[in-house]
Structure 1
Amino acid sequence: MEIREGIFGEVNGQEVKIFTLINGSGMELSCINYGCTITKVLVPDQNGKVENVVLGFDSIEEYINHSPFFGCVVGRVAGRIANSQFELDGITYDLPNNEGVNHLHGGDHGFDKVIWDAKVEKGADELKVIFTHKSSDGTAGYPGNVTVSITYTLNNKNELDIFYHATTDKKTLINLTNHSYFNLSGDLKRDILEHELTLKSDHFLKLSDSLLPTGELEAVDGTAFDFRDGRELKDGVQSDHQQNKLVGGGYDHPLVLSTNREEEICLIDHQAGRKLIVETDEPSVVLYTSNMMADDFEVRGVTARKYLGVCLETQHQPDAIHHPTFPSILLDKDEEYRTSTKYRFSVM
C-alpha cells in the first residue's frame, strides 16, 4: 500500500495538494484538499482493466470554472434550503441564495470551495487522508463556530469509507455528503443509462416545482422509483411520471432507505462487469442522474452531457429544517455529528 502526495494547483495564493492512495488490490483513490474533492477512483473491470469510474478534472482551474460539485464534500448543509433562510430558537438566519431564491449545497462559498488542512496516515491494511476545517460563526449565514473533519479510508478490500465528524459551540445545522458522480463503464466510455441500480427503499420524497421536498412521502410501487428488484436508470428518463419529468427526465430525488449497513444500494454496469455497493447509516440517499449537466465543457476529453454520471448522495433529507417530520439536522454545542458511508467496488 502506498500514499503519494503532490501539488495540484493554487487558489488565491494557497497551494492545493493532491493525495493518491494505492492499495494492494488494484484500486487507486486520488483526492485534493480543495473541497475534499475525489478526482479519480481507479478500479478493475471484469477483465482486470483498471479505469477511472468517477467524473473529475486534472486542473484546479477546471474545478473552479466548470465543476457541478464533482467529487466534493458539500455543506454546511447538502441540498436546498427553501427561501434561503431558517429559524432557530426565535432567530431568523438568512443564507445566500445561489439557486433562484433558494440556498443550495452551502452556497457559493460552501465547504466545496474551502482549502482544507490535510494529513495522511498509513497502516498495515488501510490508508487514510484526514481533512479538517474550522468554519467561523456567521460563515454563509450559519450560526456557530464549527470544527469539521472528513476522513477517507482505503483498504485492501477495495472499500472506500468516508467518515464525517463535526462539533459546534452554538446550535446550528449540519448535513454533509460526498457529491461524486459515478460512471462504472470506465473512463466515460458510455453514459449511465444502462447502469442497473438496486436500492432498498419503499418511499421517495415528492418534489415541488422548485425541486424542494413538499414533505409528502410517495410509495415507489408501480413507478420508475421502485429499485427494490433492480432496474436500469434509463427507466426514469423514459418515464411519464410527473416527478421524473419535473427534474428534466430522470432522477434528482431523495429516496428513504428502508435499511442500513445491509448492501442497501447496489450499482452495476453489466458491460464492464463492475459493481458498487454503498452502505451507510444515513436515512436517505439523493439519486441524481445529472439531468441538468451543461454541455459547454469537457471532462477529461469527453464533452459533458446529461446522464454522464450518477450521484448517490447519502444524507439526511434535504430542507429538513422546514419539515419537523424529517430526521433532524440540528447540531447543538454538547453534541457530535458523526456519520459514515462505505463504497465497495468489485466485479460480477
Structure 2
Amino acid sequence: MSEPTGPELSDVEGPKDDIPTGSELRGGRLTVSDEPFGETAAGEAVRRFTFGTEGGLQVRMLTYGATIQSIELPDRRGRRAGITLGLSTVADYEDHSPYFGATIGRFGNRIASGRFSIDGESFQVPVNDGDNALHGGTTGFDKRIWDATPIDEDDRVGVSFRYVSPDGEMGFPGTLDTTVDYTLDRRHRLTIAYRASTDRPTIVNLTNHAYFNLAGEGEGTVEDQLLQVAAGHYLPVGDGAIPLGPPAPVDDTPFDFRRAKPIGRDLRVGHEQLLRGQGYDHNWILDDYEQGRLRPVAAAYDPKSGRWLRCWTDEPGVQIYSGNFLDGTFTGRSGTVYRQGDAFTLETQHYPDSPNQPDYPSTVVRPGTPYETTTVFQFGVA
C-alpha cells in the first residue's frame, strides 16, 4: 500500500476555510492493552482495547460490534477530548445505539425491501428500516461479539477482530469469515483493513460507522466544521433513502464539497434531496475509483480546536450523514445529550442497494476470491 500523503486541499474564502496539512500531535511509545467492559444481556463478556500513544492519539475499541468507543486527541492548546460519539456501557449499546462507531456488515447501508438475488436465486434479509434492510438487518455485525487479538509491533499497534457469520445468518448465503484490523501508526494514521472469504456466492459491503465531531464529543453542532470531498457526483434517493438509479452531478447543489466549506453552509437550502433526508444522508461517488487503489477522498477541519482528519480509501463511495436523527434520546460518554447535527460520518463503502442496481460496482463475493478493502483516517492538529 502506498503511503498516504494527503489530498491537495483548497483555500476557500481565506484562512477560515483552509484545511491545514501539518500535524503537531506528540509521538511517544505505541502501546496496546485490554480490560473487561461488562457483559451483554445474554451474559457474553465484552472487552475494551486501548491503543495509541500516551498524550497523543488514543483509540478505544470494544469487542461488541468491533466498535470504536472513542478516538481521543489534544487540541492546539493540548486539551484532550474524544472526537467520536460513543456510549458508556454495553447495555447502552445494546438498547439504543444508532451504530455509534460499529463495524457494519454483512452489508452496509440499505437494501430495498431486504431482497436481492445472486445467479438467479433470491434471498431475503429482515427489514429494519421501514420497508428496507439497513446495515445487515435486525442483528448485523454491529451486535455480535467479535474475537479479538492485539497487534503490538514496533511501528503500529491495534486490534485484529474476527467474526464468522454462518450460512443463512440474516438471510445472507454462505459462511463468511471476516477479519477487520484496526491499527494506528506513529504518523497518527488509523488504518482499517477489511478481509472476508466465503464458501458460497454472497454479497459483502463492510464499513465503520464512526460519528465524528472534531470539536469534541458533546461539544455541540458540527455545522461550522469544514469538509471537503473528492466527488463530482452523488446518488439522489427516493422513498426509504433508496437510490433512484444513476448518479447526479453535484454542480450547483448543496452536495458540492469539492472545495472545502462548512458542513452547515447549505443544510437549510430548500433542496428536495435535503428535505428527503432531513439533511445529508447520501452516497457520494468518489472520483478516480479503481479497484484496490488507495487514494485521498476527504478531509475535515475544526477551526476552533485546530483538529483535522483526512481520509483515504479504495472504495467507490462514501456515505456522509449529518446526524439528522440524533434526537436528544442519546446520552454520550461525557453525560451530554446528543442532538441533531452533533456529528458527521464518512462511511467508505460500495453504493446503497448495489445488489439491485446492475450499473453499480458489484458487491458479489465468490469462493476463491476474497473481499479486501482498506480505509485510512489520519488525524492532526494545526
The aligned length equals: 347
- Whether contact under 8 Å (2:285, 2:316) holds in the other structure is yes
- Whether contact under 8 Å (2:106, 2:203) holds in the other structure is yes
Pair 1:272-2:305 in alignment = yes
Deviation of 1:24 after TM superposition, in Å, equals 5.8
Aligned to 1:285, the other structure's residue is in SS state strand
Pair 1:4-2:38 in alignment = no
- The percent of aligned pairs where both chains have the same amino acid is 36
Q: Please name the residue that 2:240 is paired with.
A: 210
Q: Please name the residue that 1:253 is paired with.
A: 282
CA distance in 2: counterparts of 1:235 and 1:129, whole angstroms = 38
CA distance in 2: counterparts of 1:297 and 1:339, whole angstroms = 31
1:1-348 correspondence runs (5 A) = 1-11=30-40, 12-23=42-53, 26-248=56-278, 250-259=279-288, 261-300=294-333, 301-348=335-382
Which amino acid in 2 is paired with 1:247?
G
Deviation of 1:125 after TM superposition, in Å, equals 1.5
CA RMSD of aligned residues (A): 1.2
Deviation of 1:92 after TM superposition, in Å, equals 1.0
- Whether contact under 8 Å (1:204, 1:253) holds in the other structure is yes
Cα deviations across residues 55-83 of structure 1 (Å, max 9, x unaligned)? 00121011111210000011100011001
CA distance in 2: counterparts of 1:80 and 1:46, whole angstroms = 39
After TM superposition, what 4+ stretches of structure 1 lie above 6 angstroms from structure 2? none
TM-score by length of 2: 0.89
TM-score by length of 1: 0.97
CA distance in 1: counterparts of 2:285 and 2:73, whole angstroms = 29
Structure 2 residue ranges without an equivalent (≥5): 1-29
Which amino acid in 1 is paired with 2:78?
G
Deviation of 1:183 after TM superposition, in Å, equals 0.3
CA distance in 2: counterparts of 1:262 and 1:131, whole angstroms = 25
CA distance in 2: counterparts of 1:236 and 1:244, whole angstroms = 9
CA distance in 2: counterparts of 1:130 and 1:259, whole angstroms = 29
Between Structure 1 and Structure 2, the one with more strand by share is 1
Aligned to 2:239, the other structure's residue is in SS state coil
- Whether contact under 8 Å (1:39, 1:71) holds in the other structure is yes
